[in-house]
Amino acid sequence: MVVAGNALLVFCGSAQRRVRPMAVLTSRSRLVEALAAVAVSALSGSLGPVGVTAANKLVSLLQEARDRASGERQLRDRVRAAITQWAKSEHIDEEVTDRGLAWAVECVQLAGCQHDLIVRADFDPGKAAGAVLEAVRRRDEYWGTEDEHEVAERAVHATYGALCPELKAEGGVLLAAIRDVRRDLGDRIDQLRDDLLGVAGRRELIKYLEGQIPLWDQSPWLCGRRPSQLERTLEIEDERRRMSPAEALDGVWLLTVLGGPGAGKTWLARRLVREAAEEALGQLRDPRVDPASIELPLFTTVAAWAAQGGVGFEGLIEAALPHDSEERIRKLAVQPGTRVLVVADSLDEGVSVNTARTLLNSLAEVPGRRLVMTSRPEAWRSAVTDLRSKQGTRAGTLTELRYPDDVHAYVTAWFSEEPSTAQHLITQLDRRRELRATATSPLLLTFYCMSTEQQPHQELPQRLRELYDAIIDRLLDGRWATTEEPADRAECRAILRRWAWDGVKDALTPAGLGAWPERITTDDPGNVPRALDHVAPKQEYPRSSCFDRKRVERRFLHRTLWEYVVAEHIATLTPKEAAKALLPHVWFDPDWQVALPMALAAHPSRSKVVERLWCHHSQHPTPAQEIVNSRLEELLLEVAAQTDPADWSKPLRARIHGLRESWAPRHPQLITATAHWTSSNRSVAQTILTTLPKTDPWQVKRLVEALLALNPTKTERTQARHAILTTLPKTTKPWQVQHLVEALLALTPTETERTHIRHTILTTLPKTTKPWQVQELVKALLALTPTETERPQARQTILTTLPTLTNTTDLWQVQPLVGALLALTPTETERTQARQTILTTLNHTTDPRDVKRLVEALLALTPTETERPHTRQTILTTLPNTRPREVNPLIEALLTLTPTKTERPHTRQTILTTLPNTRPWQVQPLIEALLALTPTETERTHTRQTILTTLNH
């Protein structure tokens, strides 16, 4: 029913108007009935905030009144008839008329007890309507700015034009009849009014969303820019599929967005709730839409949820709407049937694993409720239990920004008014491998932009620690300060270090692992530099300090900044104190995963600290000790990535060089990160070269990337290519061939080697039986730039494969194969052969989705004017025997073939015949297809009547 209402909105409205999904629209007949019911019933007393929704309920109650021929009923009928006649006389857009009617319902109910109003107006319809509209103008300063407002005013005049003469002639009798009906329905109308008065209505929801949308579009990092101006569409990787956030949320009640520090989780969370709020706001501004039918978007953090004390969706709602002023919205949100989208940010911040597990276990699927949660992967995996097996849930990992497309676009958008500065930063990113590797993190890329903006002609820092230093200075700078005196940076940094450490030193689980809170509580004697609020802004005063304000709760702008400042504090401790502080967090402690190597890298006596930790390493490990050893070795390489060889003692330098060799096959990313340890690069390169022939193809590409980071010699490149060329003929899986070819291309193969690989692929192609494997091999071949002699061989394989695709399970592969064929520049004869194959398959295809795929593949091959009619005729022949839910894909396929004027009526008739038997959610696509076929006015009227009939039932 909901979607049928949307279809009517699309069908009656402007083609440019954005479709508003999931909004319940009230039909014309119900609007007229509602306006008459409100006008008559309110004569005996105020109804409260009756909008279209409640008016419809009121109509249903009045229809149950025992005396169907009562004076009240007759008066309503006469008023309804007058309004209907007026509506027919409005020769303007039907949607504007309907919206005006809906506003008129709210105008009339706002007037209160209308009998008194009409008496004061001396039963003059113009004066009575004027009094009603004056109250509306006082309440809404924007009233009169839309065409629908003018229509509403005319509807109000029409209503009182019918009502006043009746009351003047038989006022006492009619009023008594109305009061009888009110008494008859008694408590039910009172309950309706009480329900309406207890929850938020349209205006409150609009005010709330208008206030929240700007807050959800702010970021302290962006110096006045809005995230919506800069953010990219972040894809979510769900198992083996990549999906946009909107696609990932579709069809599930719980979506968990996973990502590391600075991956853009909070930006995505705010974007999702902001877009939902903008959608809801657009729906609420249509007076025909039932406010209870919108999806109400709410935002909170998991820490706030935990602190609030509630569980399940009700606890989330209370955490998102904690203030007394939001009570009515809260009551609406918790009502059964109200649709709510809650976005809960940061499962990994401010809650222990046990608390997170308790909160997650309290969740269950509730109709109308959806939840988006963000978390670092390790926190989610530690806390999630039963949710893994529940249907309707999905967890996805945010992919990084793509380099260079997304990264360059971000930088260009940031410096839109300073293109030379944008180019300066882009040049650095292109030139420096370590910057390219980290610029795909939205947070770090933002830091790069901020640092460049502060010093537009300087180079970016070489180390992340130096970058964080620059960012802290940037935040402490006078850009946001309200005082003229610059902050004492040394003093501010000392205070930040103390705050950061006090917030985490005792934040432990019973097992002694870290459980960093969302906020820290600090002393606030009144003389703390205000610049600190730019790094760790105040949140609220604890209850114990509500009056004296000696303590205040703060939150660091971003978790990574807090981790950096904690690391800086530990760097001020003695080696013994630092080792003691860090030791409990070396193993199995995700909360310290970032701060730990950063603290060791920052410590001036890092070698001594590491030696104390290394005491737990053993040369003769048991299986359990191997885990201990492995983490210590990995940690040392992580620290090496953030330091230079000269920063270490000679024994530890040697140890790190040795670890680089032994860890190269297992963790090539650590080799890439430590490529500046050049003394061991040649031995590490040799280890990689020795490993390559024995490595699985999917891992070869990563090893080659690590090798390239070591600036390999010409000989080493040749050895690597030889290893891959030796592996290639033994590889049987096409996707593995693709990986090997990509790795080989990165090593700049010679023309002889390219020819050898192409020959291997061309020899394999005819033996390949699965179409998707053919596609993968052709993709690899194209990457090697095949010659004009080699291309025909590949094309022939595709042309031989196409006729084998006859089963519905295979037909989805036709389009990719045609794409591969086109990339190989087929001759006109080959194009014709491919088209004939598809046309032959089309004649035997009954599944509408497969028909659509085949038609799209055919269009890519530029069918002739003879082939187009044949295809259209196939579709037109299939349409009448197609089930309603499968009609739309066929019509979409037909539209791509540009049907003739003769064929269009046949297609429109199929849609009109299908509509009455179509499920509500399938109506809207059919309406859009009908509009594309230019329906006649008679067909439009027929369609509207069909939709209205559906709505009323």
Contact yes or no for 40/72 (Cβ under 8 A): yes
**Per-residue pLDDT at 482 exceeds 80:** no
Q: Top-level CATH class of 205-399? A: alpha beta
Other Cβ atoms closer than 10 A to 292: 20
Return the H-helix or E-strand segment holding 607: helix 606-614
For the chain, the maximum distance between any two Cα atoms, rounded to a whole number of angstroms, is 108
Q: Higher model confidence: residue 521 or residue 139?
A: 521
Confidence (pLDDT) at 682: 96
Q: Higher model confidence: residue 799 or residue 853?
A: 799
Write the pLDDT tens digit of every residue in 207-243.
999 999 988 887 666 666 665 555 555 556 555 556 7
Amino acid at 511: A
CA 288 centroid distance within chain: 28
Confidence (pLDDT) at 143: 83
CA torsion, ordered 780, 781, 784, 789, to nearest 10 deg: 180
Query: What distance in Å separates the CA atoms of residue 626 and residue 213, rounded to the nearest whole number?
Result: 52
Confidence (pLDDT) at 436: 80
Region 276-302 average pLDDT: 87
Q: Determine which of 96-100, 548-552, 610-614 has the lowest per-residue pLDDT on average.
A: 548-552
Measured CA angle at 623 (ends 619, 624), to 5 deg: 90
Region 705-730 average pLDDT: 92
Q: Higher model confidence: residue 228 or residue 144?
A: 144
Percentage of the chain surpassing pLDDT 70?
81
Confidence (pLDDT) at 543: 74
In the structure, what pLDDT confidence band is assigned to residue 15 with cuts at 50, 70 and 90?
A: very low
Q: Determine which of 350-364, 429-443, 552-566 has the lowest per-residue pLDDT on average.
A: 429-443
**Per-residue pLDDT at 341 exceeds 80:** yes
Write the pLDDT tens digit of every residue in 682-708.
999 999 999 999 888 888 989 999 999
Write the pLDDT tens digit of every residue in 569-605.
999 999 999 999 999 999 999 999 999 999 999 999 9
**Per-residue pLDDT at 192 exceeds 70:** no
How much is the mean pLDDT over the chain? 80
Return the H-helix or E-strand segment holding 370: strand 369-375
Region 771-797 average pLDDT: 86
Region 330-354 average pLDDT: 87
Quickly tell me which residue has 């839910």 as its tokens: 885
DSSP reduced 3-state for 428: helix
**Per-residue pLDDT at 6 exceeds 60:** no
DSSP 8-state symbol, 488: -
Region 482-488 average pLDDT: 61
**Per-residue pLDDT at 430 exceeds 80:** yes
Query: What distance in Å separates the CA atoms of residue 826 and residue 319, rounded to the nearest whole number?
Result: 62
Region 896-911 average pLDDT: 84
Region 653-667 average pLDDT: 95
**Per-residue pLDDT at 82 exceeds 90:** no
Other Cβ atoms closer than 10 A to 881: 7
Contact yes or no for 362/237 (Cβ under 8 A): no
Order of all β-strands in the sheet with 369-375: 241-243, 236-238, 393-398, 254-258, 369-375, 339-345, 295-301
Q: Determine which of 439-448, 739-748, 754-763 has the lowest per-residue pLDDT on average.
A: 439-448
Confidence (pLDDT) at 919: 66
**Per-residue pLDDT at 68 exceeds 80:** no
Contact yes or no for 109/42 (Cβ under 8 A): yes
Confidence (pLDDT) at 753: 92
Confidence (pLDDT) at 398: 81
Write the pLDDT tens digit of every residue in 802-841.
888 877 667 778 888 898 899 899 999 999 999 999 998 8
In the structure, what pLDDT confidence band is assigned to residue 11 with cuts at 50, 70 and 90?
A: very low
Confidence (pLDDT) at 294: 87
**Per-residue pLDDT at 59 exceeds 70:** no
Query: What distance in Å separates the CA atoms of residue 664 and residue 683, rounded to the nearest whole number?
Result: 10
Region 396-420 average pLDDT: 86
